[in-house]
Structure 1
């Protein structure tokens, strides 16, 4: 409730600042210029492209730079109103809050960007397209990116557990992208200076070219996702008893990463790695994977090789390279007593530690061929018992907070009865899963 009030307050403050900026700017621009600028912004927003999860990217920053160069900060602020119809059309939930924030974000960012450009151009007595002028354009582009990211990071940090600087950190790659955008904006401004304000509509050409690049990125991203899901489907077709396990581990791992303030790029890696952590099971015989009841020593030895097999499978897939260590080490322990490599301590990254904890938790709270699901509270206590030796206590406590907050429930659905070949699922504890494991705090490791 407190977080919701803070979110509403932040959005209301942003929207109010935006309205104040528009009220200041309207008397300073002509109706014709305002209409043209609003149409240009509306056009760029209508062609926004989805680049990650629920985030869409447009080339409005390019359009705003052109408007600022041609008409100054006041025209850019008024142009922000042009995005409102597109915001209303695209938003499907929390409409008032999201549209209000998007409008305020556009107007405030336009004002700050325009003022930075105007101040530098005036201070350096810049002439059109001269070196000082180009410097002012570059500075304005950076100001646009920084202010835009800061406002978005503010909303993300209030609405989730992610820290502000974690949400803001992705700005580095955004600043690199400003270089071609500045070039497109300057070219459009030159055309407008040589023609008329209506030439702003010529922005359609460079905007569509740049948008094609965004769409190519989006298609590549989607192809990566399909490839990963293809791997997951292969695992789940073979492994009757852990169907849905990879998806649950991925979902919960991302929640834990958010709880710990992990930035978006690393959360995305966490999701891919969690989805693929058991891909090596395709190299384990079916008679072992689908065996009802405990495994003997030899069978368990074969099963323990699946992290190494998974790492080998992913070895030559470039975009999955950062996930390989997570796949390779997801059954290792902090004290070095895990398998198959026996590494620990500093060799286990935070993402490895997250996936390891979540993997064990989901294995304990889902019904398997060798035992029924444990209650969530019992599984969390088991993880706490093994903290500092097997699991990172930070990850365990973050997981405990997450499952309590989102109301996570044990997974009791199971493959159909005929897959058990007449065997009953034992009502067992976590310890009963580990045939061949040393006694002591290794209990949750299991065969997840």
Structure 2
């Protein structure tokens, strides 16, 4: 409704309404049409989607359409340079109109036409606000006279208005549609004014200056070329990261379907692992890989009999060996996934102990990969604080005390200390059973670590993979 109101000054009867002269100024319709077409094509290209022209050609040739793969969230940043150039060169209502065709006739998103209409209206409002701010500060006069740097102040005001309106609308939609906390409004508004937006704004300013020069729209198109390439590369990287996340989630869901009592455990281990690593100052790229390792640490349970995973009573020696081989199954399952990198070793060795009595390879001390030492602490901590159908979870303070007691023998003391420091800053609530579930009347599993029944560790088998057998119980395991 607000976006429709922004377009009202374009009507012929809007003159007598007493609007400011610049708000109802005459519109250069060919420029509006060309900018709207550029916005639609460049936005699709930047997101790795088929452009409207390509879809039209496929329709005329009667070829099957390429499935749309547009993002499912509200549009935080479309191809900004074209919209910003329109806000600088056109009256506010015409600038808002530039964003409408791409929103109404662009690729259909995963949530259907309503989300698409919302995105078009959102960008129209943002462009309208940017143009209003630019005109209020006499930006068109400064731009036509090429008065720099005086023209940069209205341009900066236009960027600020665009980002503020865009960020508030995206944050408001997330609050209403996904139940996010209201603080997301402030975060979205602040995030909307980052360095990429400023670079695109500078590109939009360059497009506006060149468009009004002797070479007109042709020079403006040349200015858009490097920006469109960079946006396309960024979109491809984002799509690749989304594919990685989908692969990991599919594996985790398969494990949780098989072992329902550990539902949510994988995500929490990933989160706790990241808390530890951040406390250690780990780089962002490794943090992402570590989170994947934490989420997938139990993926090897897919190779373990379901009856063994769900049994509440004690296991026989053969059954325990069958369960304890799950790190090897997990390693075999994911070792062909190249983007996991260091996560492979974290998955394989997350049940090793600092004293060398762990499994599957009996590694000790610094020979245990860093990812595995982090995940070992995170795994035990979440297991101890989670309530399951056959025993109650422990309070965080008791779980931390147990980790400290086992530091040096079972866990790396550095990782334990990092988790404790992180918990002092980040709240961690113990996992309670779902409403309606009742906990069986069985004794709580003690927190102490039993002495190993077989002191000899298992040596790696030929080919680099660990052999089966030779394991010890671990703190926090059910």
TM-score with structure 1 setting the length: 0.59
Greater relative contact order (Cα 8 A, min sep 6): structure 1 or 2?
A: 1
Question: Out of 366, 384, 388, which is 1:346 matched to?
Answer: 366
Q: Which residue does the alignment assign to 2:426?
A: 406
Question: Out of 155, 158, 166, which is 1:82 matched to?
Answer: 158
Give 1:352 shift. 2.2
Deviates more, 1:257-266 or 1:187-196: 187-196
Conserved? CA contact 2:357–2:452, under 8 Å: no
Q: Which residue does the alignment assign to 2:306?
A: 286
Conserved? CA contact 2:207–2:220, under 8 Å: no
Q: Which residue does the alignment assign to 1:259?
A: 279
Aligned equivalents of 2:392, 2:207: Cα separation in 1: 66
1:318-347 Cα deviation digits (max 9, x unpaired): 112331101001111222221111112233
Give 1:317 shift. 1.3
Say if 2:237 is the partner of 1:217.
Answer: yes
1:384-431 Cα deviation digits (max 9, x unpaired): 01112221222212212333433322223169879x9xx644323124
CA shift in 2, pair 1:392/1:192, >3 Å: farther
Q: Which residue does the alignment assign to 2:297?
A: 277
Question: Out of 316, 319, 326, which is 2:346 matched to?
Answer: 326
Give 1:314 shift. 0.5
Q: Which residue does the alignment assign to 1:379?
A: 399
Q: Which residue does the alignment assign to 1:445?
A: 475
CA shift in 2, pair 1:218/1:430, >3 Å: same
CA shift in 2, pair 1:336/1:434, >3 Å: closer
Say if 2:269 is the partner of 1:249.
Answer: yes
CA shift in 2, pair 1:208/1:81, >3 Å: same
Say if 2:412 is the partner of 1:392.
Answer: yes
1:353-411 Cα deviation digits (max 9, x unpaired): 22110101111111345532122111101100111222122221221233343332222
Aligned equivalents of 2:402, 2:220: Cα separation in 1: 64
Q: Which residue does the alignment assign to 2:444?
A: 427
CA shift in 2, pair 1:265/1:199, >3 Å: same
Give 1:348 shift. 2.7
CA shift in 2, pair 1:210/1:106, >3 Å: closer
1:10-59 Cα deviation digits (max 9, x unpaired): xxxxxxxxxxxxxxxxxxxxxxxxxx9xx9xxx89x969799x9998888
Aligned equivalents of 1:428, 1:57: Cα separation in 2: 51
Conserved? CA contact 1:330–1:352, under 8 Å: yes
Aligned equivalents of 1:348, 1:432: Cα separation in 2: 19
CA shift in 2, pair 1:355/1:96, >3 Å: closer
Aligned equivalents of 1:206, 1:274: Cα separation in 2: 39
Find the residue that maps to 2:425 and give its secondary structure. Answer: helix
* C-alpha RMSD of the superposition: 4.7
Aligned equivalents of 1:101, 1:238: Cα separation in 2: 40
TM-score with structure 2 setting the length: 0.56
Aligned equivalents of 2:283, 2:375: Cα separation in 1: 16
Conserved? CA contact 1:188–1:202, under 8 Å: no
Q: Which has the higher helix share?
A: 1
1:135-162 Cα deviation digits (max 9, x unpaired): xxxxxxxxx8xxxxxxxxxxxxxxxxxx
Conserved? CA contact 1:291–1:369, under 8 Å: no
Q: Which residue does the alignment assign to 2:260?
A: 240
Aligned equivalents of 2:319, 2:452: Cα separation in 1: 10
Give 1:212 shift. 2.8
Between structure 1 and structure 2, the one with the greater Rg is 2
CA shift in 2, pair 1:288/1:106, >3 Å: closer
CA shift in 2, pair 1:437/1:378, >3 Å: farther
CA shift in 2, pair 1:266/1:62, >3 Å: farther
CA shift in 2, pair 1:361/1:277, >3 Å: same
CA shift in 2, pair 1:189/1:79, >3 Å: closer
Q: Which residue does the alignment assign to 1:230?
A: 250
Find the residue that maps to 1:406 and give its secondary structure. Answer: coil
CA shift in 2, pair 1:80/1:73, >3 Å: same
Aligned equivalents of 2:436, 2:406: Cα separation in 1: 33
Aligned equivalents of 2:245, 2:477: Cα separation in 1: 26
Deviates more, 1:379-388 or 1:85-94: 85-94
Question: Out of 375, 379, 392, which is 1:359 matched to?
Answer: 379
1:262-296 Cα deviation digits (max 9, x unpaired): 22211111111111000001111112111112222
CA shift in 2, pair 1:264/1:75, >3 Å: farther
CA shift in 2, pair 1:71/1:202, >3 Å: farther
Conserved? CA contact 2:346–2:372, under 8 Å: yes
Aligned equivalents of 1:61, 1:343: Cα separation in 2: 55
Which residues of structure 2 form unaligned runs of 5+? 1-30, 48-69, 85-145, 172-182, 456-471
CA shift in 2, pair 1:62/1:387, >3 Å: farther
